[in-house]
Amino acid sequence: MLSGRLYWVPLLLALGVGSGSGGGGDSRQRRLFAAKVNKHKPWIETSYHGVITENNDTVILDPPLVALDKDAPVPFAGEICAFKIHGQELPFEAVVLNKTSGEGRLRARSPIDCELQKEYTFIIQAYDCGAGPRETAWKKSHKAVVHIQVKDVNEFAPTFKEPAYKAVVTEGKIYDSILQVEAVDEDCSPQYSQICNYEIVTTDVPFAIDRNGNIRNTEKLSYDKQHQYEILVTAYDCGQKPAAQDTLVQVDVKPVCKPGWQDWTKRIEYQPGSGSMALFPSIHLEMCDGAVSSLQIVAELQTNYIGKGCDRETYSEKSLQKLCGASSGIIDLLPSPSAATNWTAGLLVDSSEMIFKFDGRQGAKIPDGIVPKNLTDQFTITMWMKHGPSPGVRAEKETILCNSDKTEMNRHHYALYVHNCRLVFLLRKDFDQADTFRPAEFHWKLDQICDKEWHYYVINVEFPVVTLYMDGATYEPYLVTNDWPIHPSHIAMQLTVGACWQGGEVTKPRFAQFFHGSLASLTIRPGKMESQKVISCLQACKEGLDINSLESLGQGIKYHFNPSQSILVMEGDDIGNINRALQKVSYINSRQFPTAGVRRLKVSSKVQCFGEDVCISIPEVDAYVMVLQAIEPRITLRGTDHFWRPAAQFESARGVTLFPDIKIVSTFAKTEAPGDVKTTAPKSEVLEEMLHNLDFCDILVIGGDLDPRQECLELNHSELHQRHLDATNSTAGYSIYGVGSMSRYEQVLHHIRYRNWRPASLEARRFRIKCSELNGRYTSNEFNLEVSVLHEDRVSDKEHVNHLIVQPPFLQSVHHPESRSSIRRSSVVPSIATVVIIISVCMLVFVVAMGVYRVRIAHQHFIQETEAAKESEMDWDDSALTITVNPMEKHEGPGHGEDETEGEEEEEAEEDMSSSSGSDDSEEEEEEEGTGRGRHGQNGARQAQLEWDDSTLPY
């Protein structure tokens, strides 16, 4: 062995470096040596499979990364120094853990994201350490394939593809799938990227969802119950991670297509004074794609329970007759109860509409002289009547109007009554008019007589022709019976309403044939018939249906209104035109103060299809118009409520004007919200004036009726006729009536005069005014006026002087200068007598001045009697003053320096005596002149200072 080793040394030396001078030879020797030492290449597996979790740097390989070298245990040659990866920009590196054992590790150089790349494949080789420490002559293994899979982490939550889903379903059906929602997950692995479950978050909804996101309904849906459902849905991936945000699913329930009107409102509010208001601005007809050949629409406004069948003016019948242009001479048989018309006081009355209700036990006697005894061949009877079927099995006559014998006999001269739902008019002529068999009974058979609704009846008589107008339409009698005239007699007749007076053929006179129903505006017009135009005006409604923009209805629409415009019929063959036409139908109420309440509104339809009569049934539109309460006016009367006049004015031909400054004002309270919206302060009320009409003003005498032998109220009839008003005069007062503006009534009231040609016994007279609108619906305050008489013989001069002395408030502005000579004497001989004389003279001078002034004021009152006193206390009567002028003091009068103090007058008494006397003389001359001469400003101011209140005086 030793000889062997010794042998290899010289051999190696010979192969390496023969001598120190041969450098090239040394290099070749080293390579040869290394080749002989590092004879083998490293060895590794041919393929590796690895797994790495994302966001981690450790790769788990199978098999493990180990390199072997057969040169081991030779140092360097048998050791592993490196593993090299072949590939560009790979996020991995291989490191040697142990050179001797050849163990290595594969790791990530940067974070691995599965969502970016799920797998990696590359080549790896192992390198030994070569032949020496300088890492020369390395040998590398063969190439091995490495396949690495990236393991996913559930880092992303599912998200829905759509932020919201919407579907429409038809009511009454069960759907397998209404719609499908879909969510996705950005994770890379099937485990975390797949959606394994969906869930409905909203509770108590009739829906369910499956694992694929299909939503179905669990019960039949109803459009009437709920139009729309909104549900929230979430999703879960297979790692049970829920969606980051739920999605909204909206399901609209569509009703089963049924033909009918759509988009209309059941309650329609109408504000008084708003004019014409569209009822169905958006209505349209749904026909479910059905073919239609023609369509008929009937819109009906039901107002039979409002007043007398609809909203009409509630003025008195006479006022309405005048507004409609009816002829004069109309007699109201059912007027408002009053002192002059007291025969209706005992009847049942609906005061808001002046409707009289008859229950079969009441009747009213019309006083004699109201209606002429014998009607001419021409006259008119008008009335509003509401009547139902007659009570009882055997119907009796129900008398509306009857003129019968007052005593002895029971003859009916003329009568209007209902019998078995027939309207009968009886007219019996006297023998002195005609001695032949003539028409006497006229019968009309109409369903409206017993339908319990209001109707307007007018009976025009032009004997022997009698015509009935009901609600403006003409009806001829279906039956006319003849009879002989009545034998003449001297028996008085009794006209009654609501029953017929039976004065003869009974033990005790009584009412018979009572009426059951309601009556209003029962009038009779002797000597003339009413025209069709007036009749239509009297029964016309103030409310009804209307059409806006008639010209825009189109050529294909036919329409028709009934006379009261409560029914509208439209026909057409195009649904679009019908829809537009019905959208233009409106409600209108022209009353300033309409009756508040409900008006029913119905729309019925008839559809005709091609080749069929009626093919589709359209449900009725059942709505109502709610007329809101109008703002009620507050009528206020203002003016002078107390004044005095001399007796001579009461005795004059024109008397005393009672209300020269009366003012009628109507206001309503308007609520105003505070300026700051955020404040909680209460709303304030502001009064605003309202202009409207009045229909009567009553001037009542308070404290006993007028004595016609010595006093009366007067008004020039031209004042009434110019303003289209009427009046009645009695001892109880004066009534002005008729529809007119408040200013018209003011002008008439300004001319009411009171005369008393024996005022000596009169202390005072009190009057009261009360005005009304709409026949008492709105009334004013009660304005009271007291008129007093100033008597001359009741006040003496001494009383005047004493009263003037005890009025300090008024004496402060009027001075009483003494004469300059008296001042000197009082300073020389200061005696009691001198002081008394001076005071008497001063007071006498003052009385003289005041007497002259009062004479002038009285003269002005005579000339301008229609002017009102500015204040009731400012009126003054000077007729009772007896003025006595002392001749010795005729040049003395009030001082001209009214603004000077008393001390200043004493200091300048001697200097101003002459000038003061001169001014007094000129003032007296000016006062004696006529009223045509103008006064200077100083005199006018002095006159104003001399006026005072006499209300505290005892006369």
Residues 113 and 248 in one domain: no
Residues 233 and 270 in one domain: no
For residue 619, the enclosing domain spans 259-280+293-300+542-625
Residues 246 and 161 in one domain: yes
Residue 854 is predicted with a pLDDT of 67
Residue 554 is predicted with a pLDDT of 63
Q: Please state, for a pLDDT cut of 70, what percent of the chain lies above it.
A: 76
720 φ/ψ angles, rounded to the nearest 5 degrees: -75, -50
Residues in the chain: 955
Domain-terminating residue out of 759, 788, 817: 788
Residue 133 is predicted with a pLDDT of 74
Name the least confident of 33-47, 502-516, 627-641, 707-721.
Answer: 33-47
Name the least confident of 101-105, 331-335, 729-733, 859-863.
Answer: 859-863
Peptide bond into 63 cis (omega under 30): yes
pLDDT digits (tens, 9 = 90+) for 256-292: 888 889 999 999 999 998 889 999 999 999 888 777 8
Binning pLDDT at 50, 70 and 90, where does residue 486 land?
Answer: confident
Half-sphere exposure of 939 (CA within 13 A, CB side): 14
Q: What average pLDDT does range 204-231 have in this prediction?
A: 93
Residues 621 and 639 in one domain: no
Residue 283 is predicted with a pLDDT of 94
Q: What average pLDDT does range 413-433 have in this prediction?
A: 85
Position of tokens 């879909």? Answer: 182
Domain-terminating residue out of 122, 149, 176: 149
Tokens of 152: 């996913």
Residue 114: DSSP 8-state: T
Tokens of 315: 């003025």
Considering only residues 832 and 821, tell me which one the structure prediction assigns the higher pLDDT.
832
Residues 510 and 404 in one domain: yes
Burial 617-649 (b: 16+ CB within 10 A, else e): ebeebebbbebeebeebebebebbebbbbbbbb
* SS3 call for 926: helix
Residues 348 and 462 in one domain: yes
Residues 653 and 776 in one domain: yes
337 touches 466 (CB < 8 A): no
Q: What average pLDDT does range 496-519 have in this prediction?
A: 88
Taking the C-alpha atoms of residue 571 and residue 606, their distance in angstroms, rounded to an integer, is 10
Taking the C-alpha atoms of residue 810 and residue 806, their distance in angstroms, rounded to an integer, is 9
Q: In what order do the strands lie in the sheet with 585-589?
A: 277-278, 585-589, 543-547
Residue 858 is predicted with a pLDDT of 55
Residue 573 is predicted with a pLDDT of 87
Q: What is the mean pLDDT of the chain?
A: 78
pLDDT for 322 beyond 60 = yes
Residue 216 is predicted with a pLDDT of 94
Considering only residues 38 and 174, tell me which one the structure prediction assigns the higher pLDDT.
174
Residue 832, domain member (yes or no): no
Residue 490 is predicted with a pLDDT of 75
Binning pLDDT at 50, 70 and 90, where does residue 685 land?
Answer: low
Residue 21 is predicted with a pLDDT of 40
pLDDT digits (tens, 9 = 90+) for 444-469: 999 999 998 889 999 999 888 999 99
Residues 495 and 427 in one domain: yes
Residue 5 is predicted with a pLDDT of 33
Residue 6, domain member (yes or no): no
Residue 257 is predicted with a pLDDT of 83
Residue 351 is predicted with a pLDDT of 61
pLDDT digits (tens, 9 = 90+) for 698-728: 999 998 899 999 999 999 888 888 888 888 8
Residue 1, domain member (yes or no): no
Nearest Cα neighbor of 892 from 816, 824, 827 is 816
330 touches 608 (CB < 8 A): no
Position of tokens 């080549």? Answer: 123
pTM: 0.57
Amino acid at 415: A
pLDDT for 876 beyond 60 = no
Binning pLDDT at 50, 70 and 90, where does residue 393 land?
Answer: low
Residues 381 and 497 in one domain: yes
Residue 805, domain member (yes or no): no
Q: Please state, for a pLDDT cut of 90, what percent of the chain lies above it.
A: 33
**Helix (H), strand (E) counts: the chain:** 16, 57
Residue 162, domain member (yes or no): yes
Residue 860 is predicted with a pLDDT of 55
Whole-number Cα distances in Å, 908 to 537, 734, 813: 84, 63, 20
Residue 505: CATH number of its domain: 2.60.120.200
Residue 78: CATH number of its domain: 2.60.40.60
Residue 743: DSSP 8-state: H
Residues 574 and 517 in one domain: no
pLDDT for 339 beyond 50 = yes
Residue 136, domain member (yes or no): yes
Domain-terminating residue out of 132, 149, 166: 149
Residues 743 and 604 in one domain: no
Residue 71 is predicted with a pLDDT of 82
Residues 440 and 520 in one domain: yes
pLDDT for 232 beyond 80 = yes
| Number of domains comprising the chain | 5
